[in-house]
Amino acid sequence: MTAMKAEYDLSKMKSRKNPYAAKLKKPVSMRLSEDVVDYFKAMANEAGVPYQSLINLYLRDCVMQHRKVQIAWPGSKS
């Protein structure tokens, strides 16, 4: 078995594009209703995951399923 070097010379390494760059997350600021945040925090706590990750998973599922929002404004005719 060979021992690992304490230091490596990385100066000669060639850089390359991150193949997962398209999958990286983009930070955004959103205003969400307090009850919505509480709902996802409780569900995330039960699942043992961060609530922001849970919201991301839920929204990703919406994208994958091509879900469309049905909005009916009060007083509008459908």
pLDDT tens for each residue of 25-73: 888 999 999 999 999 999 999 999 999 999 999 999 999 999 998 888 8
**Contacts with 41 (C-beta within 8 Å, 6 or more apart), sequence order:** 51
**Contacts with 58 (C-beta within 8 Å, 6 or more apart), sequence order:** 40
Tell me whether residue 25 is in a domain.
no
Cα–Cα distance for residue pair 54/38, rounded to 1 Å:
12
Tell me whether residue 65 is in a domain.
yes
Tell me whether residue 38 is in a domain.
yes
* Confidence band of 20 (pLDDT split at 50, 70, 90): confident
Q: Supply the pLDDT for residue 74.
A: 85
> Which amino acid is located at 63 in the chain?
V
**Which spans in 1-78 are helix H?**
34-47, 51-64
> Which amino acid is located at 2 in the chain?
T
Q: Supply the pLDDT for residue 3.
A: 67
Q: What is the extent of the structural domain holding 45?
A: 32-70
Whether residue 77 is predicted with pLDDT greater than 80 in this model: the reply is no
Residue that is written with structure tokens 């945040």 in the block:
37
**How many domains is the chain built from?**
1
Tell me whether residue 58 is in a domain.
yes
Tell me whether residue 19 is in a domain.
no
